[in-house]
Amino acid sequence: MEDTEVVRAAFEAYLAQDLEAEERLIADDFVFTSPQDDHIDKAAFLQRCFPTAERLVSQVILELVAAGPGAVFILYEYKLRSGDRHRNAEFITVRGGQLVETQVFFGGRV
């Protein structure tokens, strides 16, 4: 599976809240960083971040591009149940068909 396909599959598992699929797509040594989370591990990510899809009405991938071996950039837009729309970008490192690091950059309202 191409690195971009791994990232797409992880986003789809998140939206579907398919925990089994997400666990398979995330490496045991996974690290997640965002403006709200500082280098948290896989367990913390799955507990704190993964269950948040319920806040969303929709999420659309706007750009998904390989950025070199094992590196992917993704830009997506999501709409919250409150009606607000936002865009975020992520730089994701993929190894052996699994996410090993995600760095999230929050965007503003659209």
Q: What digits encode the pLDDT tens for the residues 52-83?
A: 999 999 999 999 999 999 999 999 999 999 99
Please provide residue 43's backbone torsions phi and psi, each rounded to the nearest 5 degrees: -60, -45
CB within 8 Å of 52: residues ≥ 6 apart:
none
Task: Kindly give the parts of the chain with pLDDT less than 70.
Answer: none
Q: How far apart are CA 53 and CA 49, in angstroms?
A: 9
One-letter amino acid of 31: V
Instruction: Supply the DSSP symbol for 50.
Output: G
pLDDT at 2: 96
Nearest to 72, CA basis, from 1, 4, 11: 4
pTM summary value: 0.94
Residue 108: the pLDDT is 82
**pLDDT at residue 109, as a whole number:** 87
Rounded to an integer, what is the distance from CA 18 to the centroid of its chain? Answer: 13
How far apart, in whole angstroms, are the C-alpha atoms of residue 84 and residue 40?
27
Per-residue confidence (pLDDT) for residue 110, from 0 to 100: 87
